[in-house]
């Protein structure tokens, strides 16, 4: 019998840490499986998926630019995937049908709450950005019952639209960066793609107090522009998305294998890896 195959599809994919993470999980839990990174541009997604399924594919992660395509392709969706309109995890069911999940938001919340003891309950939360990354975390963030959520975006209409879409989940306001002046937050989550190009949204001073937490969903080998800003503003917690990456992977692994891997040891390995470049 052939070994169960898993993979991450994306473009570019060369620097993906997912194979390392899932191989650690498999070794740790004694699961026999393979996990590889496959470069798949958007135009090849359908063909690559069919080929993968025909060759012992049991589950997939999808990353940029494929999450919205994966959302369209699957036959069943979890509620959190339906709300986020994006799929980062595909589960091949026994009957061959495809289920789509989105584990990004729960990965973020687990990293904040379990790994860093940052409580979202009753917190004043600000999300920067209103693209796919922001959409993926709003549901799981609101499920923690923050007292309020602001979504601030360069294109204000997108922030307002997102706020409207999720309004049934609690107090949510969509606005521009200028509208943040005079407000204060317990937790700021950077879901813009600005970090990736070393840029920072134009944020007013005094958004934080001494116990505030800043979290960049992106991560890099050195501090992102947002983490640098958070440190300069004196935030108590200045975090990037490394823990979220491992926690979203652990949730995907659980969906595939019904076993929850230990994440702490893998986060520690990745921290050590990035220190040595
Ligand atoms: P992703 O899937 O990573 O969220 P996306 O859907 O293209 O990618 O969204 C990118 C987000 O980053 C958007 O909110 C974008 O703002 P606009 O909606 O105004 O385009 C935001 N963004 C990108 N570069 C930015 C910058 N330099 N400053 C502020 N916001 C930026």
- Per the domain annotation, does 201 fall within a domain? yes
Atom of ligand 1 nearest to the CA of 199: 27
Residue ranges for the chain with pLDDT beneath 70: 1
Residues 82, 112, single domain; the answer is no
Residues 59, 178, single domain; the answer is no
CA of 18 to the centre of ligand 1 (A): 24
For atom 21 of ligand 1, which residue has the closest CA?
A: 192
Q: Judge contact between 170 and 115, C-beta under 8 A.
A: no
Q: Provide the pLDDT for residue 46.
A: 97
Active-site annotation holds for 67: yes
Q: Provide the pLDDT for residue 239.
A: 98
Q: Provide the pLDDT for residue 196.
A: 79
Helix (H) or strand (E) holding 147, with range, is none
pTM flag (> 0.75): yes
Atom of ligand 1 nearest to the CA of 64: 2
Atom of ligand 1 nearest to the CA of 177: 29
Helix (H) or strand (E) holding 210, with range, is strand 208-216
Q: Judge contact between 174 and 156, C-beta under 8 A.
A: yes
Domain boundary among 50, 69, 102: 102
Ligand 1 residue neighbourhood (C-beta within 6 Å): 129-134, 153-155, 158, 192-194, 199, 201
- Per the domain annotation, does 19 fall within a domain? yes
| 161-175 tens-digit pLDDT | 999 999 999 999 999
| 40-55 tens-digit pLDDT | 999 999 999 999 999 9
Residues 55, 20, single domain; the answer is yes
Domain that holds residue 191: 105-242
Residues 191, 63, single domain; the answer is no
Structure tokens at 206: 């005094």
């Amino acid at each position: 019998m052939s070994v169960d195959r898993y993979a991450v599809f994306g473009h570019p994919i060369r620097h993906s840490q997912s194979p390392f993470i899932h191989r650690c999980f498999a070794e740790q839990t004694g699961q026999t499986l393979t996990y590889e990174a496959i470069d798949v541009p958007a135009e090849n997604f359908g063909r690559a998926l069919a080929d993968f399924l025909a060759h012992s594919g049991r589950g997939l992660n999808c990353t940029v630019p494929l999450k919205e395509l994966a959302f369209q392709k699957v036959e069943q969706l979890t509620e959190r995937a339906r709300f986020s309109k994006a799929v980062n995890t595909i589960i091949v069911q026994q009957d061959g049908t495809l289920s789509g999940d989105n584990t990004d938001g729960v990965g973020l919340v687990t990293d904040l709450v379990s790994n860093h003891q940052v409580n979202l309950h009753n917190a004043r939360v600000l999300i920067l950005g209103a693209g796919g990354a922001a959409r993926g975390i709003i549901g799981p963030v609101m499920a923690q019952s923050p007292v309020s959520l602001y979504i601030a975006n360069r294109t204000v209409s997108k922030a307002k639209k997102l706020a409207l879409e999720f309004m049934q989940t609690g107090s949510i306001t969509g606005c521009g960066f200028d509208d943040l002046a005079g407000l204060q937050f317990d937790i700021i989550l950077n879901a813009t793609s600005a970090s990736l190009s070393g840029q920072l949204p134009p944020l007013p001073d005094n958004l934080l107090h001494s116990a505030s937490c800043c979290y960049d969903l992106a991560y890099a080998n050195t501090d992102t522009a947002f983490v640098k800003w958070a440190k300069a503003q004196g935030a108590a917690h200045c975090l990037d998305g490394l823990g979220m990456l491992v926690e979203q992977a652990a949730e995907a692994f659980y969906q595939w294998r019904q076993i929850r891997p230990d994440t702490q040891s893998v986060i520690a390995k990745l921290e050590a890896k990035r220190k040595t470049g």
